[in-house]
């Protein structure tokens, strides 16, 4: 691996633990101003010090994020459909590699929809992105997007994750599943991170992160379960405890509770 690629990978996945907490705030590219991200700048301001990487689109990066930050950026470069479309997730390339370089990103993210009638477009799109990104030493994170008709089980997620890695993704983002998440990890030759999915109680989200890491995931690329929490800073800090400090789910939840209480007392 060339120096530039190794350096960017090391900025995303921390060499000290081999793990990462990515904060995902890219939802607006198909959901618009989703709950918690009405104003992304405000939503991430207090979270940034705890995020190992920040995942978002170029528009929000330019408008809402201070260029003086040292947080590595994973730039979402797929899209083209909205939540209103019947073809949601029929995504193409929305941002050029030249633009990604201009924005000094550490990685680019592209979704594939395995099993959808447009899977070919998304897989070929991923290949094109990988070709261009590799030329510049930029890692591609493949997002396993799961269409409405697909089941988020180990069989599907291993299939999709493996296809993403075979096409050159350096990191794969998938959902957690039970049973069989260890199979998803075992059959994917590149590091895997989990998305958080819809907001669930903090205790459950911490348990999910814990179990994913136990199965071999290198971290999370989590959004709603952080920014939609009543205590987003306490939540990202608790996630960090699981990811970087090997906290159990129980320890992390106790940490979350004490951090949120402390916040209430201060307020």
Residue 221 C-beta: closest distance to ligand R5P, Å: 5
| 173 among known catalytic residues | yes
Residue 3 C-beta: closest distance to ligand R5P, Å: 28
- Burial state string for 1-30 with b = 16 or more CB within 10 A and e = fewer than 16: eeeebeebbebbbbeeeebbbbbbbbbbbb
Toward ligand R5P, which CB reaches closer, 52 or 221? 221
Residue 12 C-beta: closest distance to ligand R5P, Å: 14
Residue 25 C-beta: closest distance to ligand R5P, Å: 8
Toward ligand R5P, which CB reaches closer, 37 or 97? 37
Pairing between β-strand 78-79 and β-strand 92-93 as defined by DSSP bridges: antiparallel
Residue 28 C-beta: closest distance to ligand R5P, Å: 8
Toward ligand R5P, which CB reaches closer, 206 or 222? 222
Toward ligand R5P, which CB reaches closer, 143 or 190? 143
Q: How many other C-beta atoms lie within 10 A of the C-beta of residue 48?
A: 15
In whole angstroms, what is the distance from residue 21 CA to residue 224 CA? 14
Toward ligand R5P, which CB reaches closer, 92 or 197? 197
Question: Where does this chain bind ligand R5P (CB under 6 A)?
Answer: 24, 26-27, 55, 143, 195-197, 221-225
Residue 225 C-beta: closest distance to ligand R5P, Å: 6
Toward ligand R5P, which CB reaches closer, 125 or 196? 196
- Of 173, 199, 261, 266, the active-site residue reads 173
24 has which bridge partners? 55
Active site residues: 173
């Amino acid at each position: 691996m060339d120096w530039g690629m190794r350096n960017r990978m090391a900025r995303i996945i921390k060499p000290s633990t081999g793990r990462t907490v990515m904060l995902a705030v890219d939802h607006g590219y198909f959901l618009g101003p989703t709950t918690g991200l009405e104003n992304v700048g405000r939503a991430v301001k207090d979270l940034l010090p705890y995020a190992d990487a920040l995942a978002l689109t170029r528009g929000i990066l330019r408008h809402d994020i201070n260029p003086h930050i040292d947080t590595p950026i994973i730039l979402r470069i797929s899209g083209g459909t909205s939540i209103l479309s019947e073809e949601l997730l029929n995504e193409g390339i929305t941002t050029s590699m030249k633009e990604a370089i201009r924005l000094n990103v550490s990685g680019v993210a592209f979704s594939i929809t395995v099993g959808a009638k447009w899977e070919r477009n998304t897989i070929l799109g991923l290949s094109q992105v990988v070709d261009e990104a590799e030329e510049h030493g930029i890692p591609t994170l493949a997002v396993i997007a799961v269409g409405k008709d697909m089941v988020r089980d180990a069989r599907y997620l291993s299939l999709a994750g493996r296809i993403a890695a075979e096409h050159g993704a350096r990191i794969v983002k998938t959902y957690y599943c039970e049973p069989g998440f260890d199979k998803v990890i075992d059959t994917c030759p590149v590091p895997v991170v989990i998305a958080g999915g819809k907001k669930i109680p903090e205790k459950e989200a911490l348990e999910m992160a814990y179990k994913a890491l136990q199965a071999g995931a290198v971290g999370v690329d989590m959004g709603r379960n952080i920014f939609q929490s009543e205590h987003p800073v306490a939540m990202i800090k608790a996630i960090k405890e699981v990811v970087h400090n090997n906290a159990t789910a129980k320890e992390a939840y106790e940490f979350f509770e004490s951090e949120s209480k402390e916040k209430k007392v201060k307020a």
